[in-house]
């Protein structure tokens, strides 16, 4: 299944941060935020202002830091120009949210709260446990309270946009999309498997443990493997011994297709027979003991099925509405900013915005493949 197409999400940068927080490997959290140090030295300057709008440097740094930290955790690097472009995108979003929140009605706020609550439930489920979610949020410099507040603001802003621009999609529209893009609803072969992990890296520094500690972990893994194969409850053993906080409280269980786990783990899991327990599998994280519960063959999902608590039919309608909004939103936001007389006070951010506009104009002028005439057959 193409989760990028089907999973509901906000039409902003916040969900990129949330996805990073939930999916990124644990990274050592910063001892203090860069924005804290800058504020201490130079004060908290205003980078953008307008009627009903004010964004301070500390707000921008805090919002951008999470995205940068997530990218770093994935091994990505930013040049100085790319970092400024990212900051400008984040700034535009912060301005947009402030302008939209000023237009919110009580109905918009109620609708936004309902949507935000549902999305938060999905995030909790993906994280596995509250402990895992808190740790992952900490790695990108965000608290649980900040996450909930920002999700609420994004959801209310989205409700305002939906009302103002009157985006809509019907069941017939969803069916048409479903028929036109069948590959996007294919669920690949999956397995439901549980594992017990004995870490061979320091949970704080991510450095490999000394050889003597690795040997001790290996002996524990061998003992646990014997007990599992002797018939002891695998889920109980996982809760007692596994050092994977993302699955430990759930008895070590995951459900996944190919391409989501590290190769050694994936190969071992897909090679097992139902209810079979693996030998000790070594990965970069440590020693794993895997038990396969179920093999789930590939198939095409139906519109009536639910994924992550929401019908696919409704997810497709949300997607179609977002596509409509993406076309209408730029002009709408420009008009809002013009009415509010928004000014960008930071010169580098101002120049970044001008460059983004130039790039958009150049991109729009380029002919798309669909615009080109088909070459005559020879």
Going from N- to C-terminal start, the domains of the chain cover 3-176+304-365, 189-297
Model pLDDT, residue 208? 92
In 3D, which of 294, 310, 286, 209 has the Cα closest to residue 255? 294
Decide: 285 and 262 in contact? Cβ < 8 Å: yes
pLDDT one-digit tens code per residue, 123-158: 887 776 777 788 778 776 778 888 898 899 999 998
Model pLDDT, residue 372? 42
Strand 299-300 relative to strand 186-187, pairing: antiparallel
Q: How many CA atoms lie within 13 A of 370 on its CB side?
A: 0
Decide: 22 and 151 in contact? Cβ < 8 Å: no
Model pLDDT, residue 185? 95
Decide: 83 and 34 in contact? Cβ < 8 Å: no
Model pLDDT, residue 72? 67
CATH 3.30.70.920 assigned to 189-297: no
pLDDT beneath 70, residues of the chain = 1-43, 69-75, 128, 140, 364-378
Decide: 18 and 144 in contact? Cβ < 8 Å: no
Helix (H) or strand (E) holding 329, with range, is helix 312-339
Q: Where are the beta strands (DSSP E) in 297-369?
A: 299-300, 306-307, 310-311, 343-344
φ and ψ at 186, to 5 degrees? -85, 125
Domain at 3-176+304-365: CATH code: 1.10.4030.10
d(Cα 133, Cα 144) in Å, to the nearest integer? 8
In 3D, which of 196, 202, 199 has the Cα closest to residue 286? 199
Model pLDDT, residue 135? 79
d(Cα 129, Cα 250) in Å, to the nearest integer? 8
Tokens of 79: 């040049």
d(Cα 307, Cα 179) in Å, to the nearest integer? 19
C-alpha Rg value of the chain to the nearest Å: 24
Question: Do the domains 189-297 and 3-176+304-365 match in fold?
Answer: no
Model pLDDT, residue 1? 36
Q: Return contacts of 233-236, CB within 8 angstroms, 24+ apart.
A: 234/194, 234/196, 234/277, 234/291, 235/194
**Is 50 in a helix, a strand, or coil?**
strand
In 3D, which of 253, 255, 252 has the Cα closest to residue 307? 255
């Amino acid at each position: 299944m193409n989760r990028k197409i089907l999973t509901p999400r906000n039409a902003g940068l916040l969900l990129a941060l949330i996805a990073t927080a939930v999916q990124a490997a644990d990274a050592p959290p910063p001892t203090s935020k860069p924005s804290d140090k800058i504020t201490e030295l130079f004060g908290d300057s205003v980078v953008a202002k307008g009627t009903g709008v004010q964004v301070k440097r500390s707000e921008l740094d805090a919002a951008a830091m999470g995205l940068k930290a997530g990218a770093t955790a994935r091994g990505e690097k930013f040049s100085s120009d790319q970092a400024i472009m990212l900051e400008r995108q984040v700034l535009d979003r912060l301005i947009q949210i402030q302008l939209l929140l000023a237009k919110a009605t009580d109905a918009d706020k109620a609708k936004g709260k309902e949507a935000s609550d549902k999305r938060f439930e999905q995030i909790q489920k993906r994280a596995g446990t509250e402990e895992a979610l808190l740790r992952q949020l900490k790695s990108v410099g965000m608290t649980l309270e900040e996450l909930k507040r920002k999700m609420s603001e994004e959801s209310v802003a989205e409700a305002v946009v939906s009302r103002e621009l009157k985006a809509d999609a019907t069941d017939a529209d969803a069916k048409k999309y479903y028929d036109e893009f069948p590959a996007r609803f294919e669920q690949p072969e999956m397995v439901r498997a549980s594992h017990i992990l004995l870490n061979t890296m320091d949970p704080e520094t991510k450095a490999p443990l000394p050889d003597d500690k690795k040997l001790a972990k290996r002996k524990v893994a061998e003992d646990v493997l014997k007990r599992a194969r002797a018939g002891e409850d695998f889920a109980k053993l996982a809760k007692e011994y596994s050092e994977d906080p993302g699955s430990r409280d759930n008895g070590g269980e995951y459900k996944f297709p190919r391409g989501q786990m590290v190769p050694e783990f994936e190969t071992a899991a897909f090679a097992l027979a139902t209810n079979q327990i693996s030998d000790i599998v070594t990965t970069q994280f440590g020693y794993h003991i895997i038990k396969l519960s179920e093999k789930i063959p590939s198939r095409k999902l139906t519109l009536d099925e639910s994924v992550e608590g929401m019908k696919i039919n409704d997810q497709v309608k949300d997607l179609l509405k977002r596509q409509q909004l993406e076309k209408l939103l730029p002009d709408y936001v420009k008009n809002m900013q013009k009415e509010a007389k928004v000014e960008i006070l930071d010169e580098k951010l101002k120049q970044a915005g001008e460059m983004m506009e130039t790039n958009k104009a150049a991109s729009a002028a380029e002919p798309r493949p669909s615009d080109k005439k088909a070459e005559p057959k020879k």
